């Protein structure tokens, strides 16, 4: 049995996992005709939480357990922090520029700024999880994922509360995250820390654990195809309307259509401006020889800036962000960014020799 499991692992790892997006897409079309779309989406929402809690952290643990870490990784963690700060700074500055340009005031101004900031949160756990399966990309992808999780579920809610002039501990209006997401970043960070501790103190990796190591590798390898199935399941054909695409691109505009104007600004900020600025940031670092990392580590950071907006942003709607603009932004960034990312990952992997 162990030999059979070991022979399966290569086929649920690395770039072999990419077709699972198509599988999820097709399966959901079929299931939506048997059951209602609402029931399918409800089940997938629960599956997402199972992946977040039981699979993604375990995969990150295994990656850090099997990879000796040094000072280079510590410096890279600082670079990641600066990159994430840069991403959210871009969102804040872009929001302020648009607020001034459109003369927004009062609650509209506050709503727009909070919505723009929140939608800089990217799908590092699901779409970005593909990078965990690429040889040589696992550690930097895991580091980026850890910090994105902390920012998304801990820092951003705090910032939104401050923008609402409320303290989370004193708020009585339901302005809070569900407990399972509030604790997630701290739960998640335990796994890479534990993996590093065991690796540093014992030098043991899954290759030293015999049959148990094979089972761990198999269990954690299931994470990526499952996550990509989830991504594919969220891409409903009914969402891919030409009329909405025209409104998103500004081809078909209606006077006073604030909603699509906001979606368009979120899309421009997340899929065009942010990737360009982050790429320039790392090119400048390379040009100045400010840091010395393997090229694939920079690729991980740049790709993270191009990932689609995460669907978990919808959990932040009670914090006073625009629900419809966020939902449409998630849908269209997923539809457009996922194909770009899944083309760039194998392309960059091939170019960088992984």
At residue 172, does pLDDT exceed 50?
no
Domain residue limits, the chain: 2-351
pLDDT tens digits for range 262-271: 999 999 999 9
Average pLDDT in the 201-229 region? 88
For 197-206, 275-284, 343-352, which range has the lowest pLDDT when averaged over its residues? Answer: 343-352
At residue 260, does pLDDT exceed 70?
yes
pLDDT of residue 219: 92
Average pLDDT in the 228-235 region? 81
pLDDT category at 6 given cuts 50, 70, 90 is confident
Average pLDDT in the 205-223 region? 89
pLDDT of residue 120: 94
Is residue 344 within 8 Å of residue 304, measured between CB atoms?
no
- Tell me the percentage of the chain whose pLDDT exceeds 70: 94
Q: Which residue has the higher pLDDT, 13 or 101?
A: 101
Average pLDDT in the 313-331 region? 86
CA dist., res. 231 & res. 248, Å (int): 21
pLDDT tens digits for range 103-130: 998 888 989 999 999 999 998 877 887 8
Domain 2-351 has CATH 1.10.8: no
Is residue 184 within 8 Å of residue 150, measured between CB atoms?
no
Output the average pLDDT for the chain: 84
Average pLDDT in the 185-189 region? 83
At residue 165, does pLDDT exceed 70?
no
Neighbours of 2 (CB within 10 A): 13
Contacts (Cβ under 8 Å, ≥6 apart) of 313: 118, 119, 121, 152, 321, 326, 330
Is residue 300 within 8 Å of residue 146, measured between CB atoms?
no
Average pLDDT in the 309-330 region? 86
pLDDT of residue 164: 67
pLDDT category at 178 given cuts 50, 70, 90 is confident
pLDDT of residue 170: 39
pLDDT of residue 99: 94
Question: Based on C-alpha coordinates, what's the Rg of the chain?
Answer: 21
pLDDT of residue 168: 44
pLDDT of residue 169: 42
pLDDT tens digits for range 13-66: 766 777 888 898 899 889 988 888 788 888 888 888 888 889 888 888 888 888
pLDDT of residue 177: 66
Q: In the 3-class helix/strand/coil scheme, how is the chain assigned residue by residue?
A: CHHHHHHHHHHHCHHHHCCHHHHHHHHHHHHHHHCCHHHHHHHHHHHHHHHHHHHHHHHHHHHHHCCCCCHHHHHHHHHHHHHHHHHHHHHHHHHHHHHHHCCCCHHHHHHHHHHHHHCCCECCCCCHHHHHHCCCCHHHHHHHHHHHHHHHHHHHHHHHHHHCCCCCCCCCCCCCCCHHHHCHHHHHHHHHHHHHHHHHHHCCCHHHCCHHHHHHHHHHHCHHHHHHHHHHHCCCHHHCCHHHHHHHHCCCCCCCCHHHHHHHHHHHHHHHHHHHHHHHHHHHHHHCCCCCCCHHHHHHHHHHCCCCECHHHHHHHHHCCCHHHHHHHHHHHHHHHHHHHHHHHHHHHHHCCC
CA dist., res. 153 & res. 181, Å (int): 6
At residue 352, does pLDDT exceed 50?
yes
Q: By three-state DSSP, how is residue 122 classified?
A: strand
pLDDT tens digits for range 233-248: 877 777 677 888 887 8
pLDDT category at 171 given cuts 50, 70, 90 is very low
């Amino acid at each position: 049995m162990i030999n059979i499991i070991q022979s399966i692992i290569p086929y649920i790892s690395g770039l072999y996992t990419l077709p699972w997006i198509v599988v999820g897409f097709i399966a959901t079309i079929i299931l939506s005709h048997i059951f209602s779309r609402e029931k399918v989406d409800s089940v997938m929402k629960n599956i997402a939480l199972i992946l977040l809690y039981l699979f993604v952290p375990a995969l990150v643990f295994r990656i850090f357990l099997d990879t000796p870490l040094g000072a280079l990784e510590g410096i890279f963690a600082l670079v990641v922090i600066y990159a994430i700060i840069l991403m959210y700074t871009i969102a804040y500055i872009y929001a302020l520029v648009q607020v001034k340009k459109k003369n927004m005031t009062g609650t509209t101004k506050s709503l727009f700024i909070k919505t723009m900031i929140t939608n800089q949160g990217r799908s590092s756990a699901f779409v970005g999880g593909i990078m965990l399966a690429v040889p040589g990309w696992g550690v930097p992808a895991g580091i980026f994922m850890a910090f994105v999780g902390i920012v998304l579920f801990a820092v951003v809610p705090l910032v939104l509360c401050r923008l609402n002039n409320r303290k989370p501990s004193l708020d009585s209006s339901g302005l809070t995250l569900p407990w399972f997401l509030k604790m997630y970043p701290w739960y998640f960070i335990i796994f890479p820390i534990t993996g590093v501790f065991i690796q540093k103190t014992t030098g043991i990796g899954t290759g030293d654990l015999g049959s148990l190591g094979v089972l761990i590798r198999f269990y954690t390898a299931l994470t990526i195809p499952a996550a990509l199935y989830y991504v594919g399941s969220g891409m409903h054909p009914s969402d891919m309307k030409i009329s909405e695409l025209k409104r998103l691109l500004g081809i078909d505009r209606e006077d006073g259509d604030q909603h699509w104007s906001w979606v368009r600004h979120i899309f421009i900020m997340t899929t065009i401006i942010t990737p360009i600025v982050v790429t320039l940031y790392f090119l400048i670092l390379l040009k100045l020889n400010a840091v010395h990392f393997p090229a694939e580590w920079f690729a991980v950071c740049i790709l993270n800036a191009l990932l689609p907006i995460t669907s978990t942003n919808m959990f932040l709607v009670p914090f006073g962000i625009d629900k419809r603009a966020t939902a449409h932004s998630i849908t269209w960034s997923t539809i457009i960014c996922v194909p770009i990312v899944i083309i760039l990952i194998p392309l960059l992997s091939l170019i960088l020799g992984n």
